[in-house]
């Protein structure tokens, strides 16, 4: 039997090229090893049960498996049975895992079009079988040579959504810890309503947090303290093409740490991304300008003898982020000032880098520095020793910084995939932040 003979010269030539290029095994022959190189990994063995079909044509469509002539040596059985008379009848495709793939089964259906020719039906079925076989091939060494591609681009909003992309969320959290002579508690609660589509982004939320400390000082006295913060915010962003966005923030805040009884602000903003937004998970360079009016009432008269004031402030920030196979990097520069006195300003520089210098040698650096000249809310009363040590009040400062650097060098059998869960996999760590 030589099926190629019956087909066009072009198709035959293509099939020959593929057959040669891959050294595709014949029905049951082992692959021909190339001289001087170890043999390629074995392919998935498939038994195709489709009476009367042209197996060579199927083979050309699915080159990453070997079709074997008997069920005994197969790892997967593919049975294709017509359901009803052609041309309207569907084809039922049953994939059955054998041996180590026992229990991995799937049933697919191919519905041919009204005027599909038998050759087209064969190709359509082969395309479905090809996709159906991937789960088995993924468990064999051939997996690393396979990749799946989607031929189209779709809009993420192409769904039937009765809520029109609105998501509402309600949450509450509490964190408590203590010892015989020490107790602390933090509580956080929020409600939010968000809507995210490619054209619009709406985020609204209201939150509250409360925390308290209690120290037994041993001599019959105890030190206790309570702090809280409440607020609400709304952000609306409209997309203006692949590079521009315009939007606005509205915020309300109350905080004992910041000496803010109530601060209300509204700020329109404009953003430009040098790279298209669609590349945001790989790289972004965003420039954001914001101008805002804030009305603030303080708990305690400030160091500038104010109990309330209205301020206009503008801010510009530039943020760069990139994630690449060598690692990732980010850099952010932000500056802001108040209009009533330009001397009240702030400049912040922050950056981070994770970089693979050489094979197992990785470097990680993070840092930020802020020059602070705008602590308008600072309490005129000063802070107690306890407030300072427990960091419960904003303190006067001209700067703050944080910097961290780390490196890791690993060598040896770093490609080892062995998992050995005995005696546990090392310690457990939990970090909680608010």
Window 107-126: residues binding other proteins (CB under 8 A): 107-110, 113, 116-117, 120-121, 123-124
* Residue of 55, 235, 285, 331 that binds other proteins (CB under 8 A): 235
Q: How far is CA 291 from CA 148, 269, 308, 319, in A?
A: 46, 7, 20, 18
Mark residues 15-34: x for contact with other proteins by CB under 8 A, - for none: --xx--xx------------
Q: Can you tell me which residue has the tokens 């993070």? A: 366
- List, edge to edge, every strand of the sheet that includes 65-67: 65-67, 44-49, 76-83, 90-97, 105-110
In whole angstroms, give the CA distance from residue 62 to residue 422.
42
* Residue of 266, 354, 373, 374 that binds other proteins (CB under 8 A): 354
44-52, 81-89, 233-241, 339-347 -> range binding other proteins (CB under 8 A): 233-241
**Does the protein bind other proteins through residue 131 (CB under 8 A)?**
yes
* Residue of 5, 10, 343, 422 that binds other proteins (CB under 8 A): 422
- Compare residues 86 and 198 and give the one whose CB is closer to other proteins: 198
Which residues, 381 to 420, sit near other proteins by CB under 8 A?
A: 385-386, 388-391, 395-420
The structure tokens listed for 35 are 């001289």
CB distance 71 to 50 below 8 Å: no
**Does the protein bind other proteins through residue 257 (CB under 8 A)?**
no
* Residue of 69, 304, 359, 381 that binds other proteins (CB under 8 A): 359
Q: Shortest approach of other proteins to residue 415 CB, angstroms?
A: 5
Closest alpha carbon to 67 in 8, 162, 133: 133
Phi-psi region of 359 (alpha: psi -120 to 50; beta: other; left: phi over 0): left
Q: How far is CA 212 from CA 149, 182, 209, 386, 390, in A?
A: 54, 11, 10, 13, 11
The structure tokens listed for 196 are 């995210």
Q: What are phi and psi of 117, to 5 degrees?
A: -80, 155
**Does the protein bind other proteins through residue 221 (CB under 8 A)?**
no
Q: Shortest approach of other proteins to residue 380 CB, angstroms?
A: 15
In whole angstroms, give the CA distance from residue 374 to residue 305.
15
Cβ neighbourhood burial of 411 (10 Å; 0-12, 13-18, 19+): exposed
In whole angstroms, give the CA distance from residue 68 to residue 27.
6
How many chain residues touch other proteins (CB under 8 A)? 169
35-43, 49-57, 81-89, 342-350 -> range binding other proteins (CB under 8 A): 35-43
Which residues, 147 to 186, sit near other proteins by CB under 8 A?
A: 147-161, 163-182, 186
- Compare residues 70 and 173 and give the one whose CB is closer to other proteins: 173
Q: Shortest approach of other proteins to residue 114 CB, angstroms?
A: 10
46-54, 80-88, 344-352, 424-432 -> range binding other proteins (CB under 8 A): 424-432
- Compare residues 226 and 359 and give the one whose CB is closer to other proteins: 359
Which residues, 37 to 96, sit near other proteins by CB under 8 A?
A: 37-41, 60-61, 63-64
**Does the protein bind other proteins through residue 289 (CB under 8 A)?**
no
**Does the protein bind other proteins through residue 357 (CB under 8 A)?**
no
Q: Alpha carbon 289 to chain centroid distance? A: 26
Task: Quote the radius of gyration of the chain (alpha carbons, Å).
Answer: 33
């Amino acid at each position: 039997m030589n099926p190629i003979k019956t087909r066009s010269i072009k198709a035959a030539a293509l099939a020959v090229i593929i057959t040669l290029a891959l050294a595709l095994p014949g029905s049951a022959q082992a692959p021909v090893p190339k001289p001087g190189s170890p043999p390629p990994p074995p392919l998935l063995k498939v038994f195709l049960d489709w009476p009367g079909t042209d197996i060579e044509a199927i083979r050309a469509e699915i080159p990453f498996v070997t079709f074997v002539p008997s069920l005994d040596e197969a790892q997967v059985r593919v049975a294709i049975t017509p359901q009803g008379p052609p041309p309207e009848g569907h084809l039922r495709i049953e994939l059955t895992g054998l041996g180590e793939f026992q229990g991995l089964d799937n049933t697919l259906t191919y519905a041919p079009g009204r005027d599909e020719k038998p050759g087209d039906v064969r190709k359509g079925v082969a395309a479905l079988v090809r996709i159906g076989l991937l789960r088995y091939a993924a468990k064999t060494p051939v997996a690393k040579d396979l990749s799946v591609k989607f031929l189209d681009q779709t809009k993420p909003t192409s769904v039937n959504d009765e809520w029109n992309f609105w998501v509402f969320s309600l949450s509450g959290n509490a964190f408590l810890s203590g010892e015989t002579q020490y107790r602390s508690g933090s509580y956080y609660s929020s409600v939010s309503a968000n809507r995210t589509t490619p054209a619009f982004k709406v985020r609204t939320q209201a939150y509250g947090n409360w925390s308290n400390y209690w120290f037994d000082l041993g001599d019959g006295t105890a030190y206790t303290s309570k702090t809280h913060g409440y607020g609400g915010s709304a952000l609306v962003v409209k997309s203006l093409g692949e590079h521009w966005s315009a939007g606005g923030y509205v915020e309300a805040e109350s905080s004992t740490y910041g000496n803010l009884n109530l601060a209300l602000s509204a700020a329109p903003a404009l953003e430009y991304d040098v790279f298209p937004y669609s590349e945001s998970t790989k790289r972004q360079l965003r420039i954001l300008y914001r101008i805002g009016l804030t009305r603030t009432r303080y708990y305690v008269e400030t160091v500038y003898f104010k109990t309330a004031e209205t301020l206009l402030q503008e801010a510009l920030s530039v943020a760069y982020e990139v994630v690449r196979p060598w690692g990732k990097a980010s850099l952010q520069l932000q500056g802001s000032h108040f209009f009533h006195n330009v001397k009240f300003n702030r400049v912040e520089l922050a950056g981070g880098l994770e970089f693979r210098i050489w094979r197992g040698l990785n470097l990680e650096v993070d840092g930020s520095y802020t020059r602070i000249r705008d602590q308008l809310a600072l309490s005129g009363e000063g802070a107690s020793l306890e407030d300072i040590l427990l960091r419960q009040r904003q303190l006067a400062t001209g700067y703050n910084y944080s910097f961290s650097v780390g490196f890791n060098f690993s060598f040896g059998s770093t490609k080892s995939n062995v998992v050995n869960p005995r005696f546990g996999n090392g310690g457990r760590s939990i970090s909680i932040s608010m």
